[in-house]
Amino acid sequence: MIAEILCVGTELLMGQVLNTNARYLARGLSALGITHQRQSVVGDNPERLREALQEALRRADVVITSGGLGPTVDDITKRVTAELAGQELVLRPEAEAHVRECFARFGREMTPNNLSQAMFTADSVLLPNPKGTAPGAIVPMDPEGAKFVIHLPGPPRELEPMFAASVAPWLAARSENALRSRYFRLFGIGESDVDDRLGDLERGGNPSLSPYCSLGEVLLRLTAAAPTEAEALALMDPIAQEVRRRLGEFIYDERDDEGGSLEECAIRALRARGWTVATCESLTGGMIADTLVGVPGASEVVKGGLVTYMSVAKTMLAGVPAELIERCNVVSAEVAMAMAQGTRQRLEVDIAVSATGLAGPGGGTPERPVGTVFLGIATAKGVRAIPLHLTGDRPRIRQLTVKHALRALIREAAGA
């Protein structure tokens, strides 16, 4: 099966809205093992949309569209697709009931043009939309049932659950093989180094091993296809063992889906240990605490945080001696450790993490260039400092500091 993605909307074409749908759908297709060779964006123009659909259907078995399902005059996706299929749009009672129920739930009066959201070809398979008024649809495009257009709404909060609940199972049911994937999340190693260590494993066709890089992290996806799930798992197992052997020190999470993050793993590790945590931050200005509390359930382990941006705040809030700051410099291992130790004692937590450093662009010296950062980790066993030498602009240095702090929490909670 070959699929293409066609995102509809002048706002996407003009760069006014970031097209996150294409990224989400591409990853979803890849996880299903479906060949995906192209994706396009087209504005709200009937002629150009018709041309884009025709070209995509010549190349692909399935074209997934996003956007253009609403009630306004520029929402043309269903109409153009129906014309291309030689069909008419008709009012589908079940879709109408959904649209009316949504407006009743919102406590709003429904204008007549909203009924257009309930118009589909008679042979379309409707896709429920629990988050919005516009249902999606799977539209047959030829009498043989070999070509389909799948309509999804534009808002990501609607599109993503609809794809997961309705489209992915429909596509999987038409796949000839069972597909299984394993995801490894790595921190502290670059993509080129990963490729150098795993290059021989990445050249295989089935199972396939692919790296994806983000700031400071690498995601490895191991995927195998076989007639049964058991056979797919058997194909994956020796490769997975080899990945663990070669890169185990950098792997912070391993699972069967693409989810997971440093902050989620940090909260999970702290919860498993029964620990509470507090932060004391200078250059990150509360970003570590903010990232941690973004995880549901963080209230079980995160007690609080101190933002001690100026030196005097480090003394007032964390009890760092002014003499120590004067003697060792505010950006030093000694001050980072004192920040962590003082925070642990004052907030009465099991572990405290601190961060002090130079994010730039100014303030660097030959002895302490921009990117010099020290983390402090304090537990009942003692306190230690972690020196970092980071590069890049101010946002990058601050974001990497947060990620290193989270990784340190994971390792400490795990007893590493």
3-state secondary structure the chain: CEEEEEEECHHHHCCCCCCHHHHHHHHHHHHCCCEEEEEEEECCCHHHHHHHHHHHHHHCCEEEEECCCCCCCCCCHHHHHHHHHCCCCEECHHHHHHHHHHHHHHCCCCCHHHHHHHEECCCCEEECCCCCCCCEEEEECCCCCCCEEEEECCCHHHHHHHHHHHHHHHHHHCCCCEEEEEEEEEECCCHHHHHHHHHHHHCCCCCEEEEEEECCEEEEEEEEEECCHHHHHHHHHHHHHHHHHHHHHHEEEEECCCCCCHHHHHHHHHHHHCCCEEEEECCCCCHHHHHHHCCCCHHHCEEEEEECCCHHHHHHHHCCCHHHHHHHCCCCHHHHHHHHHHHHHHHCCCEEEEEEECCCCCCCCCCCCCCEEEEEEEECCEEEEEEEECCCCHHHHHHHHHHHHHHHHHHHHCCC
Whether pTM exceeds 0.95: no
Interval 182-190 mean pLDDT: 94
Report yes or no: 202 and 210 within 8 Å, Cβ to Cβ.
yes
* pLDDT value at residue 229: 87
d(CA 101, CA 117): 13
List the beta bridge partners of residue 132: none
* pLDDT value at residue 415: 87
Flag the least confident range among 76-85, 186-195, 200-209, 346-355. Answer: 200-209
Going by pLDDT thresholds of 50, 70 and 90, the confidence category of residue 32 is: confident
* pLDDT value at residue 300: 97
d(CA 365, CA 350): 35
* Percentage of the chain exceeding pLDDT 70: 100
* pLDDT value at residue 176: 74
d(CA 281, CA 34): 45
Asked whether residue 177 carries a pLDDT value surpassing 80, the answer given is no
Tens digits of per-residue pLDDT, 165-176?
Answer: 999 999 988 877
Going by pLDDT thresholds of 50, 70 and 90, the confidence category of residue 381 is: very high
Q: Locate tokens 């995927």: which residue?
A: 223
Closest by CA position to 150, among listed 171, 172, 177, 133: 171
Q: Locate tokens 């932060």: which residue?
A: 279
Report yes or no: 11 and 17 within 8 Å, Cβ to Cβ.
yes
Interval 276-289 mean pLDDT: 98
Q: Which fold has domain 262-413?
A: Maf protein (3.90.950)
**And the tokens for 184?**
């490894």
Higher pLDDT, 115 or 257: 115
* Percentage of the chain exceeding pLDDT 90: 86
As a whole number of angstroms, the longest Cα–Cα distance in the chain is: 83
CATH code: domain 2-173 is 3.40.980.10
* pLDDT value at residue 351: 98
CATH code: domain 178-255 is 3.30.70.2860
* pLDDT value at residue 30: 80
Asked whether residue 33 carries a pLDDT value surpassing 80, the answer given is no
**Domain boundaries in the chain?**
2-173, 178-255, 262-413
* pLDDT value at residue 204: 80
Closest by CA position to 45, among listed 84, 90, 13: 13
Q: What is the mean pLDDT of the chain?
A: 95
Phi and psi at residue 216, to the nearest 5°: 75, 0
* pLDDT value at residue 145: 87
Hey, do 2-173 and 178-255 end up sharing a CATH topology, with the first three levels equal?
A: no
